[in-house]
Amino acid sequence: MTDDRPLQPTTVRRSVVTVAAATLGPESPLPRFTRLRELPFPDVGPGASPEMLERIGYGRLESPLPYRVQEDYDRSLCEVELPAYELDNGVLRATVLPTLGGRVWSLYDVVRGRELLFRNPVLQPANFGLTNAWFAGGIEWNVGSTGHTTLTCRPVHAGVVAGPDGDVLRLWEWERTRDLVLQVDVSLPPGSDRLYASTRVLNPDPEDKPLYYWTNIAVPETPGTRVVTTADAAWRTEYAGALRRVPLPHPDRPDVDISHPMASTFPADYFYEVEGQRGAHIVAVEPDGAGFAQTSTRGLRGRKLFLWGSGPAGARWQEWLCGPGARYAEIQAGWCPTQLEHDRLTGGASVSWTEAFGGVDLDPAAVAGGYAEACAAARDAVHEATHPDHLDAVHERWLAEVADAAVAEQLSTGSGWGHVELELRDAPATPALPFPPVDDDSVPARHLLDGDTDGLAKSVHRLPVPPVSDRWSAVLEEAPDSEWVHLARAVNAHVRGDEARAAAQYDASLALHENPWALRGLALLAA
């Protein structure tokens, strides 16, 4: 879509989002030693490659540690103001929430005169995240493991980078379950009706690590919504433990076309077979032809539709998450073909890709036509708006000119753990990804590394759940004994399954001072 108005330089400005929200509440002080939700090894049907099966069996996260669980949210909605940043080029306006994982809460197309995303009228957490609390709406950046990221309801660092086409909003954070660094650079070139997100995941350590990444996009859902991509088969899971390859668009019966999400009765995930496609994409479109599209460079091999379905269970969840009368579906893009897989990120390496998000306008006749016709129309519209050659060039330019550019202004901070983890490794922060010290639960860990026993003793109440990586376990073994150090050693042994060592350290903590954390740990071991 063209616009004849003069080009406006892209700016990033502070803003607020007013929304009816439940109270998140404090994080739990109790370490969680198992997954919040059991994920059985899937029963994979015929057609899976050996590489896919290997990735499914690799890298499963057994516990949310060292993160604390966020489970104390309530059901009382009150109007709140959330800090936000807006990117605006006069054509498109993106609103980002830095205290909630860098979620893109809104993407408003000024020329088309419509919101492109599902902008949730409420913010109601529910137990869908790796550390419990998760909320629906917008675009989220999921790194870590199968599920919604640990960063969902936590702040991330945000800053402005001077890009060749104007301000770039950089989001970055240290993800602690994997000790990986996530960087997302969000930009709006002058005059463009595409929002670009250039993303990099970095492994700061010499050892290989599991790699999981998915971008989740909530889009409005109506009885006429259609979701299409260039695929004639998908891997489906309906949460009963099976992963099956099914034909599209009729996986079960000829009268149920799942490219219309509300035609399905039950919730399901459909992971489209698009691996190897150049210009892979996914589109959600209404009967009048008004649609939203995501496309990316080759790095993101997976595309997915999540639907709640039209049955009572999905309707109840939609009402809980969004309030009465609001419905959404999710279109997604990921590093692996499905969300049950983890790849390997070699030591010291990084991976990157660029995504483009924006509106598309399809012929209503094509939208109402056969599946192949609708898919072809969507592909043509996406590639006309963002040709694969153009997107590759955008990504290469980002790598060359922006990815390692210094943050010109840090707008807000995430956690202090990036600073502490770099200190643990005796590694400097870079101007592109500064990790300043933050007055949060990382403070006791700073005192521990600095050998400041007095500072540690005065601040350990801020860190009831200790770090548990092998590097931190080694530090704790060398630290002077104290009630908290014994407890931290016990938690490290407990999560590794060394019950004798855990019990001995819980007892040692209790011998110095009776405390509920050690008593709970012993009770869990005895259960």
**Residue 201's pLDDT band (cuts 50, 70, 90):** very high
CA dist 205 and 25 (Å) reads 34
Q: Is the pLDDT of residue 36 over 80?
A: no
pLDDT of residue 429 exceeding 70: yes
Dihedrals φ, ψ of 445, to 5°? -65, -35
What's the gap between Cα 1 and its chain centre?
30
Q: What is the pTM of this model?
A: 0.96
Asked if residue 522 has pLDDT above 90, the reply is: yes
Please state, for a pLDDT cut of 70, what percent of the chain lies above it. 98
In this predicted structure, what is the pLDDT of residue 35? 83
pLDDT of residue 41 exceeding 90? no
pLDDT per residue over 332-355, tens digit each? 999 999 999 999 999 999 999 999
Side chain identity at residue 282, one-letter code: I
Mean predicted confidence (pLDDT) in 116-138: 97
pLDDT surpasses 70 at 4: no
> Is domain 11-401 classified as CATH 2.70.98.10?
yes
Report whether pLDDT(1) > 60. no
32 in Cβ contact with 63 (< 8 Å): yes
Least confident among 2-11, 195-204, 210-219, 481-490: 2-11
Per domain, the residue ranges of the chain are 11-401, 441-526
What the block records as the tokens of 256 is 């149920």
pLDDT in tens, 151-164: 999 999 999 999 99
Alpha-carbon span 302 to 334, nearest angstrom: 5
171, 186 in Cβ contact below 8 A?
Answer: yes
> For residue 40, what pLDDT is reported?
67
**Taking 60 as the threshold, does the pLDDT of residue 3 lie above it?**
no
Q: In sequence order, what are the residues at sequence separation of 6 or more whose Cβ sits closer than 8 angstroms to the Cβ of residue 350?
A: 200, 201, 202, 203
Query: How confident is the prediction for the chain on average, in pLDDT?
Result: 96
Q: Quick one: pLDDT at residue 42?
A: 85
> For 193-209, what is the mean pLDDT?
98
Q: Rounded to whole angstroms, what are the CA distances from 149 to 99, 128, 275, 284, 304? A: 14, 10, 23, 24, 17
* Cα–Cα dist 159/170, whole Å: 5
What was the pLDDT predicted at 240? 81
Mean pLDDT of 420-426: 98
Instruction: Report the distance separating Cα 130 and Cα 145, nearest Å.
Output: 8
